Amino acid sequence: MVKAPIVKEGYIFIVILAIITIIVYVTVNPYWSIIPAVLMGFITFFFRNPKRRIPNDDRLILSPADGKVMSVCEVYDDQFLNQVGLKVTIFLSVFDVHLNRSPIAGEIKFQQYTCGRFRPAYKKTVGCENERHSIGIENDKMKVLVTQIAGILARRIVSWVTLGSILQKGERYGMIKFASCTEIIVPKTVEIVVKKGDKVKGGETVIGRLLQ
């Protein structure tokens, strides 16, 4: 699990912008150095890795991402669940934490990376058209499918896990760089407790509750 306050993928950008800030300050003009300094501050903010309070109840399904719930609908999943399930779509703005967290504890039994387009992440069709990375997590109570979806600015999906990896509930397993979208599909035996327009926090907000 990633524990540093800044995700490691952000270090290279922070260091480069820090060097540019110093060079501009010394060789050009101190006022012009404000521009790369502000960019460095934003990048540091974007790659932040906040601590979260993870609920212990194993019947609860947690949000896999920070952001705003764009839709809750019924779908048929033929990738992992192979049944009708409930899909929650979460849009992440550039101001949200972009880490993805496991909604349940379990083993990764399915993993697929699909190349595609980079349409705006809030569009309804991005789950089918855009570049994406899906993992299927299974434990003795349920199976869930989580998909990281790239957006118009998000051109890089990062994953720190692979097939067979064991995840704890709320564990950080990857991120999407810049504005993006995350989808989770759960069985119909789960009661969804969020609705369109709700703000959620990855690894902390309960989005569903197992009924059986």
Catalytic residues: 180
Q: Crossing angle, helix 11-27 and helix 34-46, to 10 degrees?
A: 170
Closest CA to 60 of 171, 197, 191, 152: 191
Cβ contacts of 126 within 8 Å, gap of 6 or more: 119, 120, 149, 151, 181
- Report how far residue 64's alpha carbon sits from residue 54's, in angstroms, rounded to the nearest whole number: 12
| Signed CA dihedral, 156, 123, 173, 48: sign only | positive
Residue entry with tokens 């926090």: 201
Record the tokens describing residue 126, joined without a space. Answer: 């991005």
Record the tokens describing residue 61, joined without a space. Answer: 């399904």
